[in-house]
């Protein structure tokens, strides 16, 4: 008996350690190949692992959604009999935009309003909605949020604030020691050693390796060796994922070859999920098992039967999605640091060529030598180049949630972009996602109608949550008969807005005092909860109406009068207002009074056009030391 227990214990220890890098360091190392001969598969379905996981998560979300809807006080609606009577589970997706620390902190507040573990979320927020959700997607700054929560044993924003151990942002992650030179020296020495480990194991390193390690000091400071050996695929093995307690986390990045620019229509959107990494787009149309990244393959098959593990370092994945910020690492070189730090930096930056500054190098390329995808430049190259997920302007990562295989009913999109000259969102990201469906890369995905950004601003669609795609039958001309209109999720779009705090800080603000950080998080809570339910006491019920809408449409069920009224209040009704000379004064119902005028910048990357970027980066080096 004891022997069995002991061996079970040893087995579970072994299995929980296996998912870490086999070298117990930042270096990848050889591991046994899985039994199936190919590491890749075509993107024509969900992986069997995700499919199986979804079945388990369904029973969790069904039960939690009943509780959530009961508390939402919807009239003429019985949540229990309704949810139990459906033949298909309602799937809710949450998406958090990029935009540096601003996006991470505003997103944290919005997420906390949905998380029943937050004090007050049940009483005057949307507590229980996170518990009812299936997918949790992040990009760039939003991926710092998702990654921090997911990789730290599915911690909560509340716990992060209570414990006071993570998210100390008082010094920039480029210079975590502040004026404490020794601390900064140790930081860069640690990074340099980690990079050497990877180089010595025979792998190329790019600026994103440095960046990912730097992020890990902020986000994984509680973990062994600040997560040097922590792999993204570890998620598969942790209890909170295996028992379906946490939603399915996804991180988004774009494909881009050095020296080229990508535009929305022909970008390749990649996702990292706990099981796989790859793209639904025709240019790649494959997924590889994320745990075996770093393995040299020929058409998905390991060369010489040798497999590699530990390449999918969690910080590296998070750094990939936010690689626009790589530039900061270079900026520190321009400041007056001690020569000891400078010499480490020189060693860190030794192989980085300037056109790879915002690019993550994945070499070997997991999608090499196959004819599945249409992009020759990807399949013939020995290297896969990835960059910040927001570089194609789709700063809210919606694409993984539009895949009909995922059967998402409703997406809550939190936009913390800096599109206007005052760093507020103006819907540009959503417009980019809408437009993408008409290009070849969309591969049959559909996106509800949204207006142009001038209308977004003129009609105040960013001043309160707005629903898009309220009536699926109106979307038939978007589907080309490839998908059912009911497969297009309803979109609940919520933009950053000031209620109790001016939460429009610069994307490139790299340090926050704790009270500033906490104020932005609180404001985010208020954004998601309609100022704690004070602006609209029926807000939870209206959210409930959005959640059940597609299932009602599929089953031809009538909407209650209450839901009809909610839709009157929150759905975009198709009206346009394209007069860009209107200067809408910045006022929000119930909010901090502001008289800023919203002006529209188009064609920006995360709110900063690339020509301005260089200037901003130069200016920012002053921050770096702070």
Q: Which residues of the chain form contacts with ligand NAG (CB under 6 A)?
A: 17, 20, 24, 64, 67-68, 71-73, 116, 119-120, 122, 124, 127-128, 131, 153, 224, 229, 240, 245, 257-258, 263, 266, 282, 285, 330, 333, 342, 345-346, 349, 374, 380-381, 383, 443-444, 459-460, 480-482, 500, 522, 525-526, 532, 540, 583-585, 587, 595
Question: Taking the CB of residue 105, how many other CB atoms lie within 10 A of it?
Answer: 30
Cβ 50 to ligand NAG, closest distance in Å? 18
Pick from 272, 263, 229, 234: which is nearest to 138 by CA?
272
Cβ 142 to ligand NAG, closest distance in Å? 21
Two tokens, residue 210:
């440095």
C-beta of 133 vs 506, nearer to ligand NAG:
133
Cβ 416 to ligand NAG, closest distance in Å? 18
- Cis status of the peptide bond prior to 364, with omega within 30 of 0: yes
Cβ 508 to ligand NAG, closest distance in Å? 19
Cβ 516 to ligand NAG, closest distance in Å? 15
C-beta of 29 vs 282, nearer to ligand NAG:
282
Cβ 598 to ligand NAG, closest distance in Å? 10
Q: Which residue is nearest to ligand NAG (CB)?
A: 120
Cβ 153 to ligand NAG, closest distance in Å? 4
C-beta of 58 vs 374, nearer to ligand NAG:
374
C-beta of 506 vs 540, nearer to ligand NAG:
540
- Residue 107 CA to residue 143 CA, distance in Å, equals 10
C-beta of 37 vs 583, nearer to ligand NAG:
583
Cβ 1 to ligand NAG, closest distance in Å? 25
Outline where DSSP puts E strands in 368-497: 384-388, 410-415, 466-468, 490-495
Reduce the DSSP state of residue 3 to 3 states and report it: helix
Pick from 207, 112, 103, 203: which is nearest to 415 by CA?
103
* Residue corresponding to tokens 């949450």: 94
Cβ 115 to ligand NAG, closest distance in Å? 10
Cβ 62 to ligand NAG, closest distance in Å? 11
C-beta of 330 vs 506, nearer to ligand NAG:
330
C-beta of 7 vs 73, nearer to ligand NAG:
73
C-beta of 72 vs 308, nearer to ligand NAG:
72
What is the phi/psi pair of residue 308, to 5°?
-125, 145
Helices 141-151 and 207-219: crossing angle in degrees, nearest 10, is 60
227, burial (CB in 10 Å: exposed 0-12, middle 13-18, buried 19+): buried
C-beta of 482 vs 619, nearer to ligand NAG:
482
Please check whether residue 366 is in contact with residue 288, taking contact to mean a CB–CB distance below 8 angstroms: yes
- Rg (the chain; Cα; Å): 23
Pick from 92, 100, 17, 585: which is nearest to 309 by CA?
17
What single string gives the DSSP state of each residue in 67-134?
HHHHHTT-TT--HHHHHHH-SS---EEEEE---HHHHHHHHHHHHHHH-TTSTTHHHHS-TTTTTT-S
Two tokens, residue 238:
């942790």
Helices 100-114 and 514-528: crossing angle in degrees, nearest 10, is 50
CB neighbours of 484 closer than 8 A, spacing ≥ 6?
A: 404
C-beta of 109 vs 506, nearer to ligand NAG:
109
Cβ 134 to ligand NAG, closest distance in Å? 14
- Residue 524 CA to residue 451 CA, distance in Å, equals 25
Nearest-5° Cα angle at 249, 245 to 252: 175
C-beta of 329 vs 506, nearer to ligand NAG:
329
- Which helix (H) or strand (E) segment holds residue 270: the answer is strand 268-272
Pick from 553, 537, 534, 545: which is nearest to 570 by CA?
545
Cβ 341 to ligand NAG, closest distance in Å? 10
C-beta of 151 vs 506, nearer to ligand NAG:
151
């Amino acid at each position: 008996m004891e022997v069995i227990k002991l061996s079970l214990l040893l087995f579970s220890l072994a299995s929980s350690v296996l998912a870490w890098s086999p070298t117990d360091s930042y270096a990848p190392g050889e591991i046994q190949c899985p039994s199936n001969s190919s590491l890749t598969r075509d993107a024509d379905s969900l992986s069997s692992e995700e499919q199986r996981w979804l079945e388990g998560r369904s029973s969790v979300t069904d039960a939690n959604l009943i509780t959530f809807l009961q508390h939402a006080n919807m009239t003429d609606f019985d949540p229990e009999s309704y949810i139990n009577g459906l033949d298909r589970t309602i799937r809710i997706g949450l998406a958090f935009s990029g935009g540096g620390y601003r996006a991470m902190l505003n997103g944290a507040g919005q997420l906390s309003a949905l998380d029943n573990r937050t004090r007050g979320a049940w009483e005057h927020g949307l507590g229980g909605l996170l518990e009812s959700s299936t997918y949790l997607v992040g990009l760039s700054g939003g991926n710092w949020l998702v990654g921090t929560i997911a990789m730290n044993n599915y911690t909560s924003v509340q716990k992060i604030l209570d414990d006071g151990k993570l998210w100390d942002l008082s010094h920039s992650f480029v210079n975590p020691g502040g004026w404490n030179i020794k601390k900064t020296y140790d930081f860069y020495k640690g990074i340099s050693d980690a990079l050497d480990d990877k180089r010595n194991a025979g792998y190329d390193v790019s600026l994103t390796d440095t960046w990912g390690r730097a992020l890990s000091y902020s986000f994984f400071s509680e973990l062994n060796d600040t997560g040097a050996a922590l792999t993204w695929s570890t998620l598969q093995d942790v209890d909170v994922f295996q028992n379906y307690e946490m939603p399915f986390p996804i991180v988004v990045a774009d494909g881009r070859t050095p020296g080229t620019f990508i535009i929305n229509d022909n970008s390749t959107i990649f996702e990292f999920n706990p099981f796989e990494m790859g793209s639904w787009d025709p240019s790649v149309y494959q997924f590889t098992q994320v745990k075996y990244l770093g393995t040299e393959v020929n058409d998905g098959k390991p060369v010489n039967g040798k497999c590699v593990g530990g390449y999918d370092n969690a910080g590296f994945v998070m750094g990939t999605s936010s690689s626009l910020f790589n530039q900061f690492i270079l900026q520190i070189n321009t400041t007056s640091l001690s020569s000891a730090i400078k010499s480490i930096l020189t060693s860190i930056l030794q192989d980085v060529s300037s056109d790879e500054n915002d690019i993550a190098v994945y070499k070997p390329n997991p999608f090499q030598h196959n004819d599945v995808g249409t992009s020759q430049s990807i399949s013939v190259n020995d290297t896969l180049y990835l960059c910040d997920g927001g570089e194609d302007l789709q700063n809210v990562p919606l694409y993984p949630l539009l895949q009909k295989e995922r059967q998402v009913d409703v997406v809550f999109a939190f936009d913390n972009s800096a599109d206007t000259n005052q760093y507020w969102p103006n819907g540009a990201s959503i417009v980019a996602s809408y437009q993408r469906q008409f290009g070849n890369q969309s591969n049959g995905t559909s996106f509800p109608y949204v207006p142009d950004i001038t209308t977004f601003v003129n009609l105040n669609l960013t001043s309160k949550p707005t629903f898009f795609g309220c009536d699926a039958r109106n979307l038939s001309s978007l589907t080309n008969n490839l998908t059912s209109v009911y497969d297009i999720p309803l979109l609940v779009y919520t933009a950053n807005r000031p209620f109790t705090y001016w939460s429009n800080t610069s994307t490139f603000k790299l340090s926050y005092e704790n009270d500033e950080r906490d104020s932005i998080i609180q404001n985010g809570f208020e954004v998601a909860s309609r100022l704690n339910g004070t602006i609209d006491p029926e807000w939870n019920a209206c959210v409930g109406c959005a959640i059940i809408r597609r299932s009602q449409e599929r089953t031809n069920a009538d909407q209650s009068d209450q839901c009809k009224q909610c839709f009157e209040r929150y759905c975009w009704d198709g009206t346009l207002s394209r007069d860009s000379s209107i200067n809408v004064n910045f006022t929000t119902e119930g909010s901090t009074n502001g008289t800023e005028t919203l002006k529209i910048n188009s064609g920006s990357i995360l709110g900063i056009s690339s020509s301005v970027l260089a200037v901003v980066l130069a200016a920012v080096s002053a921050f770096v030391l702070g």
